């Protein structure tokens, strides 16, 4: 009888690879990488999710509800330009920049007459040491051509040399005897200490005052003034206060202009615009103009 031959498979001839035992951690799943979302405790994820909801809610309110809330509330004073105007002020004005785009000055000039005539227009001229507002030259010319009392302001950047900023503004804003004094807009600290910020602001004010021969107007918010520019030296400058959505100015010191809302609607300007009042009469406003 022929002898049976046993054919071994290739697998049978190979050594079995050692079976690696899985740890208890790997049997349950891959270990989360440190720093990943899965590694976070559940309570921390809930806290972060809650903070995100709060952040988005505050942002939605600030940009989409807040500007219109002042319009919706009951008005016990004068209603004009889409908002409730502060009582007891007869001289109204606006301030503009490139954010208002191309303005229809012919339509805007019609607002010089009527129940709440717009008398003055402040416009942004410069920012920092080299940023020119792209619409300044046109706005500055058109404001004069259409009979508005005009003014120009500089947006202060604390990190940039104050003298450089002052000289840039002087080169840009050719104010004459019919214009309002130059304006310094201070809104941020730029990481500077209070004393450093005050020195820089005073440097700009001194340089510009020497050039134009008149004290510049200082623009800043109610809270910023009290916190950072509360030195008595700054009280010697005409103050333009930014204080929105309130019925009266809470600042106890002297002030000349009040920017009371950023939600005004004025014919000739697309979108919202800042509304202001002058704390005095038309002749008082005229007395501020450069000589």
pLDDT in tens, 218-275: 999 999 999 999 999 999 999 999 999 888 898 989 999 999 999 999 999 999 999 9
Using the CB atoms, write b or e for 107-118: b if 16+ within 10 Å: ebbebeeeebeb
Q: What is the pLDDT of residues 106-149, one digit of tens each?
A: 999 999 998 999 999 999 999 999 999 999 999 999 999 999 99
CA dist 121 and 118 (Å) reads 8
C-alpha span between 203 and 208 (Å, rounded) = 9
The overall average pLDDT reported for the chain is 87
Per the structure block, which two tokens stand in for 66?
Answer: 């807040």
Could you read off the pLDDT of 71-92 as tens digits, one per residue? 556 776 689 999 999 988 999 9
Q: Which residues of 177-195 are buried (b: 16+ CB within 10 A; e: fewer)?
A: eebbbbbbbbeebeebeee
Q: What is the C-alpha separation between 291 and 212, in angstroms, rounded?
A: 10
pLDDT of residue 42: 83
Closest by CA position to 229, among listed 254, 199, 267, 204? 199
Q: Give residues with Cβ within 8 angstroms of 90, minimum separation 6.
A: 281, 282
- pLDDT of residue 6 exceeding 50, the answer is no
259 burial via Cβ count (<10 Å: 0-12, 13-18, 19+)? buried
In sequence order, what are the residues at sequence separation of 6 or more whose Cβ sits closer than 8 angstroms to the Cβ of residue 32? Answer: 38, 39
Which tokens sit at 228?
Answer: 């950072």
Identify whether 141 is a catalytic site residue: no
Determine which one of 90, 134, 141, 187 is catalytic.
187
Does residue 209 contact residue 232 with C-beta atoms inside 8 Å?
Answer: no
Q: pLDDT band for position 10 (50/70/90)?
A: very low
Between CA 235 and CA 218 the distance in angstroms is: 9
**% of the chain with per-residue pLDDT over 70:** 80
Given a cut of 80, whether residue 279 has pLDDT beyond it is yes
- 63 confidence band (pLDDT: 50, 70, 90): low
Helical axes 194-212 vs 162-172, angle rounded to 10°: 30
Query: pLDDT tens digits, residue range 13-43?
Result: 445 555 555 544 444 455 555 555 556 788 8
Which of 247, 244, 243, 274 shows the shortest CA–CA distance to 78? 247
Q: In this predicted structure, what is the pLDDT of residue 72? A: 58
CA-wise closest residue to 107 among 273, 266, 276, 274: 266
71 burial (CB, 10 Å; 0-12 / 13-18 / 19+) is middle
- Detail the DSSP E strand segments found in 50-134: 78-80, 83-85, 91-96, 118-127, 131-132
């Amino acid at each position: 009888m022929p002898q049976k031959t046993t054919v071994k498979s290739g697998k049978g001839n190979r050594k079995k690879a050692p079976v690696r035992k899985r740890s208890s951690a790997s049997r349950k799943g891959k270990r989360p990488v440190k720093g990943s979302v899965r590694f976070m405790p559940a309570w921390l994820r809930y806290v972060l999710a809650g903070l995100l909801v709060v952040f988005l809610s505050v942002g939605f309110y600030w940009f989409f509800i807040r500007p219109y809330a002042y319009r919706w509330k009951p008005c016990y004073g004068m209603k004009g330009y889409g908002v409730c105007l502060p009582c007891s002020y007869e001289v109204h004005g606006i301030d503009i920049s490139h954010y208002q785009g191309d303005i229809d000055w012919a339509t805007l000039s019609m607002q010089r007459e009527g129940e709440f005539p717009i008398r003055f227009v402040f416009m942004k001229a410069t920012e920092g040491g080299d940023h020119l507002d792209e619409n300044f030259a046109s706005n500055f010319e058109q404001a004069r051509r259409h009979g508005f009392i005009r003014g120009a302001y500089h947006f202060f950047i604390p990190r940039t040399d104050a003298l450089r900023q002052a000289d840039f503004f002087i080169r840009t804003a050719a104010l004459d005897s019919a214009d309002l004094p130059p304006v310094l807009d201070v809104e941020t600290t730029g990481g500077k200490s209070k004393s450093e910020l005050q020195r820089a602001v005073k440097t700009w004010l001194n340089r510009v005052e020497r050039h134009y021969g008149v004290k510049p107007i200082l623009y800043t918010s109610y809270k910023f003034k009290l916190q950072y520019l509360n030195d008595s030296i700054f009280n010697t400058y005409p103050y333009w206060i930014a204080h929105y959505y309130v019925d009266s100015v809470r600042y106890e010191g002297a002030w000349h202009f009040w920017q009371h809302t950023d939600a005004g609607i004025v014919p000739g300007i697309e979108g919202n615009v800042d509304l202001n009042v002058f704390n005095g009469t038309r002749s008082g406003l005229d007395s501020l103009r450069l000589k």
